[in-house]
Structure 1
Amino acid sequence: MAARPKKWIPYSELQIEMGIDFVTKVGVNINDGLTYCRRPPFFPPEIYPEFQHGEIKLDKDNHVYGAVRKLLYNMGLDKEHFGKKEWNPFAGIIKQGNLVVIKPNFVIHHNGGKENIDAVVTHGSVLRPLIDYALLALNGTGEIIIGDAPQANGNFDQIIQKNGVRELVDYYQQRGENVNVYDFRKNWYPHGFKTGTRVELSGDPHGYRRINLKERSFLQDLPHKERLYGADFDRQFVVDKHTNGHEYLYSGSVLEADVVISVPKLKTHRKAGVTINSKNMVGANGDKNYLAHYRVGTPSHGGDEYPDGLPLLTRMVYRLNRFGFDNMLVKNTMLSRIGYLAMMGPFEVLRRAIKRLFHYDYMMGHGDWHGNDTVWRMCLDLNQILRYADKSGKIRDTQQRHIISIVDGIVAGQEDGPLRPTAYPAGCLAGGVDCLFEVDYTCIYMMGFAPEKLKIISRAMASGALHFKKPEEKDVCCTVNGRLTDYKSVNMHFLPQQYWRGYIER
């Protein structure tokens, strides 16, 4: 268990220390039939009082803008001025001259399930009002950065083109606003993991910080670290990073930020059960292979890649895959890719035939199941860094920056998330200030899951290191179609990923 910081501050005292002089809460706003605006740069539908001397272009069909605005009200932000020209929801959090980093979920440029990417990535129409209200608080000063580190085979340019963020940022820059969008990765695979080689990128313009959490890491008490597997093919690399301490390569932009706005997607997840705020900071790490995702093998042999008792054919394919990953693809040459495809091609044909004829997919590995005991630890480590690392990367005992959460669940993702989800038109937005895990707890409950059954939540609650309170110990202001509702009465009946079914439902 990760050590508690020497000075752990209750939330009410944290507000005072961090300079918030008004009450904030978890906010939820659900609207049946709410859909994304499809016309970048996503102008507001009306001239709101707080912007009466600003933007005059309108898009009357952009209902997302008003829904986000209502969410900020539900979060209790500058509530006494709502509806007046003085309303400035981020004014108590974002100061003039601040660097504000908006961290969305831009995981990949397509939906592997053949649907569009609405259920996969954060949409630009959700970001538009957040940028506007951040600019209102900055009052002509400071900088806003939108940034993420997608999966290593994700095409960043395609992502921000498809979700409207490219045109949105262009619009602000044409207005002379200091708003930029960056790919935080150091490298990527432009032609895919198995058919192309890795190439270097310019990366985060603010550089990176190597941070070693040492005994504070949630991985500290994990046995069999020699079995760790990361997000690339060099297994020895991730083992080395978590043998003498626990090292990460964190985004300099995120650490230099005075305020981070986390804007995750509401989705199920193969390895973690769900992916909301608690997993969103995976995209704040510049090199994916620092991130421990699972341990190879079965639990009886010290792993959590897949369960004991799988059929012989499945185990044989895993061993071949492991040989190919560790000894062929790690070489990062086209010749190694050709050799791997030649070796695994016949088994992929067999897998597809079995899936088509018997409706059974024997390839459930790579830690994609409810027994994964590794990935939640990595996620909580990244959240500790977000909260406690200063601009230089040194871990402190008190929180170093404000963290605002706004969850994009307008079109959410269920079943085979995070890369192949089925779209779920939930019309849901949720948020909070400096309470990422309370927001996640609320969302998970409304999805129809039991939050305590997910280790990424239960272990955060138990640690004391992440300022976690159950939502019943903190106000939740939830509106459904404009009516105030107890969030506990909401059950959206999300379908979990198939290897989590029967384990996380409430």
Structure 2
Amino acid sequence: MDDKVYFAAAGSYDPAAVEAAVERLFCQLPAAAAIGPGKKVLLKPNLLAKHGPDKAVTTHPEVLRAVIRAVKRRGADDLLVADSPGGPYTPALVKSIYKASGLAAVCQEEQVPLYTACESAAAPAAGGAAAKEFTLLRPVLEADVLIDLPKLKTHMMTGLSAATKNLFGCIPGLQKAEWHMRLPEKERFGEMLVDLLETVKPAFAVLDAVVAHEGDGPSGGTPRPVGFVAAAGDLLQMDLALCAMVGLQPAQVPYLSAAMWRGLCAERFDPAKAAGEAELFAPIDGFKLPSSWGSVDFADNAPRPIRWAVPAVQRAIAPRPVIDRAGCIGCGQCATICPQKTVRLEEGRARILPKRCIRCFCCHEICPVGAIGTKRFFIFQKL
């Protein structure tokens, strides 16, 4: 497999600029040769929840448009766009989120169908470290070529939400919350994401980093102009490169750590693997990581006689979601998506039962008004 990550500058979402940048990527990327006449091509954006393009939470519609046109230039005429956002997976909900994100309008203009049937089927998991079987969206199982269209974002649980993490949307609706319940430890959750990557086997990824999402992502942070798109046939390589750019240690990103143990990726990105407009591979100055990140990871440094107690201590003092009851609108989406059913509505406002919380931050992701923040152990609040 080609292990390079290709970069192209795009200073704004001007349609012509984005289309030209994406076409440059397709011309250089060997994996794009998989596209051709008679191939069923699935485009898998980052949908997540009902947010407009200005929030930098979902894949921008102009990036989707540019990829659609690049695919059509290579002779494919059987295209489909599909994803499963957080929360319940119903045709009405999916249609509303596609509309809010701007993706529906682009698909209508480019005459590419959106998948809203919400059907799924079981498939055996490859790798099998944490999963034996996945339930996946039916188009994922039927596609000849799957193109991943992630957004560069931070993530409260995994640190990074980009190429590999975006594949979690191949799992329908609330079944994603079930995986959080089954695998509450982030290390095991990371192993499952690698199993999913090995099972889905996307042909390549095209990343939207024209405007990224920093801070308390994947939805509670803020937009951050970065100015590029990128592509790679090796999704783990892409994520390693992004870690270097935003200031994350790859070994602390659960799915990258799991991939390293399996020998699927290196411990860090080799700058010689940056291609295309390679000068774009550089640290992003002051990129904000999640408030939940890196404050209590001291297990490896603990004295051996007490190391057995460290996991319990870390669970006790780790950051956790907290609800701003004044900002809560009582919609109940957090209670619906919570895998442990630890969120409940009381007097028209949400409440989290801290002892049962597994700190997956699903509630934080799904809150439509940003009323769920992070509470850190008092010692770390000023670090």
Q: Go from structure 1 to structure 2 and tell me whether the alpha carbon gap of 1:281 and 1:486 turns closer, same or farther (over 3 Å shift).
A: closer
Match of 2:82, SS state, is strand
Deviations 1:275-313 (A, max 9, x none): 1011111111124326422569xxxxxx64xxxxxxxxx
1:107 counterpart = 2:51: no
- Map residues 41-440 of structure 1 onto 2, 5 A cutoff: 42=15, 45=16, 63-73=17-27, 76-77=28-29, 90=32, 92-110=33-51, 117-138=54-75, 142-152=77-87, 155-173=93-111, 179-183=112-116, 202-204=117-119, 208-213=120-125, 216-219=127-130, 246-289=132-175, 291-293=178-180, 304=185, 372-387=186-201, 403-433=203-233, 435-440=234-239
Hey, what's the Cα distance between the residues in 2 that align with 1:65 and 1:503?
Answer: 43
Amino acid across the alignment from 1:29: A
Q: Does the aligned pair in 1 maintain the 2:146–2:203 contact within 8 Å?
A: yes
Hey, what's the Cα distance between the residues in 2 that align with 1:469 and 1:96?
Answer: 38
Amino acid across the alignment from 2:106: L
Amino acid across the alignment from 2:152: L
Hey, what's the Cα distance between the residues in 1 that align with 2:8 and 2:115?
Answer: 29
1:463 counterpart = 2:277: no
Deviations 1:24-57 (A, max 9, x none): 73112345xx2224xxxx5xx3xxxxxxxxxxxx
Match of 1:416, SS state, is coil
Q: Go from structure 1 to structure 2 and tell me whether the alpha carbon gap of 1:163 and 1:295 turns closer, same or farther (over 3 Å shift).
A: closer
Structure with greater Cα Rg? 1
TM-score, with length taken from structure 2? 0.68
1:26 counterpart = 2:5: yes
Structure 2 residue runs without a partner (length 5+):
298-383
The Cα of 1:426 is off from its aligned counterpart by 1.1
The Cα of 1:209 is off from its aligned counterpart by 2.6
Hey, what's the Cα distance between the residues in 1 that align with 2:195 and 2:103?
Answer: 29
The Cα of 1:143 is off from its aligned counterpart by 0.7
Deviations 1:132-158 (A, max 9, x none): 12112125xx41011100011584333
The Cα of 1:469 is off from its aligned counterpart by 8.5
Amino acid across the alignment from 1:77: L
Match of 1:431, SS state, is strand
Q: Does the aligned pair in 2 maintain the 1:250–1:286 contact within 8 Å?
A: yes
Larger strand share, 1 or 2:
2
Amino acid across the alignment from 2:287: F
Amino acid across the alignment from 1:213: A
Q: Go from structure 1 to structure 2 and tell me whether the alpha carbon gap of 1:99 and 1:163 turns closer, same or farther (over 3 Å shift).
A: same
Hey, what's the Cα distance between the residues in 1 that align with 2:20 and 2:243?
Answer: 24
Hey, what's the Cα distance between the residues in 2 that align with 1:284 and 1:172?
Answer: 23
Hey, what's the Cα distance between the residues in 2 that align with 1:258 and 1:452?
Answer: 32
Deviations 1:341-398 (A, max 9, x none): xxxxxxxxxxxxxxxxxxxxxxxxxxxxxxx3332122122112112xxxxxxxxxxx
Q: Go from structure 1 to structure 2 and tell me whether the alpha carbon gap of 1:486 and 1:123 turns closer, same or farther (over 3 Å shift).
A: closer
Q: Go from structure 1 to structure 2 and tell me whether the alpha carbon gap of 1:258 and 1:374 turns closer, same or farther (over 3 Å shift).
A: same
Match of 1:148, SS state, is coil
The Cα of 1:403 is off from its aligned counterpart by 1.1
Instruction: Tell me which residue corresponds to 1:475.
Output: 273
The Cα of 1:474 is off from its aligned counterpart by 6.5
Q: Does the aligned pair in 2 maintain the 1:272–1:375 contact within 8 Å?
A: no
Match of 1:101, SS state, is strand
Hey, what's the Cα distance between the residues in 2 that align with 1:123 and 1:101?
Answer: 17
1:35 counterpart = 2:12: yes
The Cα of 1:450 is off from its aligned counterpart by 1.9
Q: Go from structure 1 to structure 2 and tell me whether the alpha carbon gap of 1:167 and 1:492 turns closer, same or farther (over 3 Å shift).
A: same
Q: Go from structure 1 to structure 2 and tell me whether the alpha carbon gap of 1:503 and 1:412 turns closer, same or farther (over 3 Å shift).
A: farther
Hey, what's the Cα distance between the residues in 1 that align with 2:70 and 2:42?
Answer: 13
Deviations 1:263-282 (A, max 9, x none): 01110111111110111111
% identical aligned pairs: 26
The Cα of 1:95 is off from its aligned counterpart by 2.3
Q: How many pairs are equivalent?
A: 293
Q: Go from structure 1 to structure 2 and tell me whether the alpha carbon gap of 1:463 and 1:110 turns closer, same or farther (over 3 Å shift).
A: same
Q: Does the aligned pair in 2 maintain the 1:295–1:374 contact within 8 Å?
A: no
Amino acid across the alignment from 2:179: A
Hey, what's the Cα distance between the residues in 2 that align with 1:134 and 1:503?
Answer: 45
Deviations 1:440-498 (A, max 9, x none): 1111211122223212112212213x57695429631153xxxx5272x4334321111
Match of 1:498, SS state, is coil
Match of 2:35, SS state, is coil
Instruction: Tell me which residue corresponds to 2:378.
Output: none
The Cα of 1:501 is off from its aligned counterpart by 4.0
Amino acid across the alignment from 2:44: K
The alignment yields a C-alpha RMSD, in angstroms, of 2.9
Amino acid across the alignment from 1:147: A
Q: Go from structure 1 to structure 2 and tell me whether the alpha carbon gap of 1:150 and 1:486 turns closer, same or farther (over 3 Å shift).
A: closer
Q: Does the aligned pair in 2 maintain the 1:448–1:492 contact within 8 Å?
A: no
